[in-house]
């Protein structure tokens, strides 16, 4: 009836989750977004699958918690990789790669001498800075294979030189053209078929970003995760990411956010993720790494990373919708994140909250209020994340400040009912962007256009043959532009009365 909604799965815990709870949350968001078949909806036996993680700075952080709040939690990576391996198997050309740029050009992804390698990426369990068997690790024996049972190959993207890359000239909305040097093995099968290296492609590309702020873009999410694909050292036609952003500066010496944003979107136009699961177990308040917000400057050894425990997981087929939800979970105003608007403009996904559906209905709002209570009440000024970091503007409140009233459903004719509603707004309430009609726990209709604060739904049961019951439960939900949600009192329809 209107523009299709992008679904975002959301799962949460009340405290720092255990290993089993991490696996359960991942399974939960996969179920919410893909259904009972899970990853088999997008992956089949024999597929070539690549998982992109965020590994920047595994050596950053306080002693005993290196990488915490900086890298994709290895528990997330290993569980997702094991789910993938169970599907693809080992025959008919199946392959599984876990990859990121590790800041050096040696093909060995787990070099012990390099503190940025997969070898050093871990969740600390023994309280020291060493890599121990007791830790939850990526590659504790430095053999280039992901620990656990997936047998996934680790690949250093910074070792992919000119012969392993293809230069794409990407036309952007607005008329600009951006050169992107893209690894050949990450191309789609269709892209590869048009070249002299048709065997170098990926069937399914999965992103595992982490909830982090960012000193230039405001947030690091699924869209920013692509930056590790760019060569650190530069390639013909593409100057590379040396110094993190190119280094793009304007005449005043400031980062040129617009150019960085456009490059990131150009990368996704070459090839975006087929599916993303966002590690929201922690939230880095001043990303990408330490409170200084830089990957090349460390005032002193073992400086603590400024993160909070957020105990959540999200997932989506739409990376833009996922980053939109991430921005709201971080406690930021959506319009303050430039990459969301640019990505939407370039048809990479939905950044308009009216068209982003977060599963679990009220859970997202409740969890954000829970974080506010912990980190803005007892521990002041730690949530929302750092205000004006990379231009991101923190929300002043996370309360909905509105309620929703409904009248008893009115019968118009046989099996046709009118349900009237009205939003009651309090001081400084946000704009209402979507109204939904739920019948027996399923959303049947929604509105995103016109005047949404007062109106009605006409429910014609004849148009919904899947409804077999004669007694129906009816609820209406009102969403605002920051993903707050108000629900009406439950109403009932007795069809035969």
Any idea which of 40-54, 252-266, 287-301 has the lowest mean pLDDT?
287-301
What per-residue confidence (pLDDT) applies to 434?
96
> pLDDT, tens digit, for every residue of 199-232?
999 999 999 999 999 988 999 999 999 999 999 8
Q: Which pLDDT value is given to residue 483? A: 97
Q: Find which of 150-154, 359-363, 437-441 is predicted with most confidence, using mean pLDDT.
A: 150-154
Is 402-494 a domain of CATH 3.20.20.140?
no
Task: Report whether pLDDT(242) > 70.
Answer: no
Please name the residues in contact with 51: beta carbons below 8 A apart, sequence gap of 6 or more. Answer: 77, 80, 81, 84, 96, 97, 98, 99, 152, 206, 207, 208
| Residue 409 scores a pLDDT above 70 | yes
What per-residue confidence (pLDDT) applies to 300?
Answer: 65
pLDDT of residue 56: 85
145-189 pLDDT per residue, tens? 999 999 999 999 999 999 999 999 999 998 999 999 999 999 999
Residues 302, 272: contact at Cβ < 8 Å? no
- Give dist(CA 78, CA 122) in Å, integer: 11
List beta partners, residue 468. Answer: none
Q: How far apart are the first and last CA of the chain?
A: 30
Q: What is the pLDDT of residue 256?
A: 76
Average pLDDT, the chain: 92
Find residue 210's DSSP bridge partners: 279
Task: List, in order, residues 6 or more apart from 396 with CB less than 8 Å away.
Answer: none
Confidence class of residue 142 from pLDDT cuts 50, 70 and 90?
very high
Tokens found for residue 140: 């504790």
DSSP H or E segment with residue 319 = helix 319-329
Q: Is pLDDT of 330 > 70? A: yes
């Amino acid at each position: 009836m209107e523009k299709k909604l992008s679904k975002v799965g959301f799962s949460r815990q009340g405290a720092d989750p255990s290993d089993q709870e991490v696996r359960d949350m991942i399974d939960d968001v996969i179920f919410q977004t893909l259904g009972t078949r899970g990853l088999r909806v997008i992956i089949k036996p024999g597929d070539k699958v690549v998982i992109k993680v965020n590994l920047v700075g595994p050596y950053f952080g306080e002693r005993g918690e290196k990488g915490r709040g900086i890298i994709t939690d290895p528990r997330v990576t290993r569980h997702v990789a094991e789910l993938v391996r169970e599907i693809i198997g080992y025959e008919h050309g199946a392959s599984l790669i876990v990859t990121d740029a590790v800041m050096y050009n040696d093909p060995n992804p787990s070099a012990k001498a390099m503190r940025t390698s997969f070898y050093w990426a871990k969740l600390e369990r023994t309280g020291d800075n060493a890599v121990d068997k007791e830790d939850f690790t990526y590659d504790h024996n430095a053999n280039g294979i992901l620990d656990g049972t997936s047998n996934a190959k680790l690949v250093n993207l910074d070792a992919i030189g000119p012969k392993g890359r293809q230069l794409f000239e990407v036309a952007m909305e607005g008329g600009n053209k951006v050169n992107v040097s893209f690894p050949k093995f990450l191309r789609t099968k269709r892209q590869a078929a048009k070249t002299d290296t048709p065997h170098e492609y990926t069937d399914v590309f999965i992103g595992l970003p982490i909830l982090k702020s960012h000193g230039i873009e405001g947030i690091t999410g699924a869209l920013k995760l692509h930056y590790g694909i760019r060569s650190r050292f530069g390639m013909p036609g593409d100057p590379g990411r040396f110094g993190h952003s190119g280094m793009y500066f304007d005449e005043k010496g400031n980062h040129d956010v617009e150019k960085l944003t456009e490059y990131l979107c150009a990368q996704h136009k070459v090839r975006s993720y087929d599916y993303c699961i966002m590690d929201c177990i922690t939230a880095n308040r001043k990303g990408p790494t330490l409170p200084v917000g830089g990957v090349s400057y460390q005032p002193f050894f073992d400086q603590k990373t400024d993160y909070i425990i957020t105990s959540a997981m999200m997932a989506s087929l739409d990376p833009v919708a996922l980053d939109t939800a991430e921005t709201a979970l971080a406690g930021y105003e959506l319009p303050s994140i430039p990459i969301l608007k640019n990505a939407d403009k370039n048809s990479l996904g939905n950044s308009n909250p009216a068209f982003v559906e977060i599963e679990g209905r009220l859970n997202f709002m409740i969890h954000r209020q829970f974080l506010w209570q912990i980190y803005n009440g007892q521990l002041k000024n730690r949530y929302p994340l750092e205000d004006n970091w990379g231009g991101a503007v923190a929300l002043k409140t996370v309360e909905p400040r509105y309620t929703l009233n409904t009248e008893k459903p009115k019968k118009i004719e046989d099996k046709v009912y009118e349900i009237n509603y009205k939003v009651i707004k309090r001081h400084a309430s946000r704009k209402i962007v979507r109204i939904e009609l739920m019948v027996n726990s399923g959303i049947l209709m929604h509105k995103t256009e016109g005047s949404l604060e007062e109106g009605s739904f006409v429910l014609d049961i004849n148009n919904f043959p899947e409804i077999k019951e004669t007694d129906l439960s009816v609820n209406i939900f009102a969403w605002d532009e920051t993903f707050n949600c108000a629900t009406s009192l439950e109403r009932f329809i007795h069809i035969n009365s």
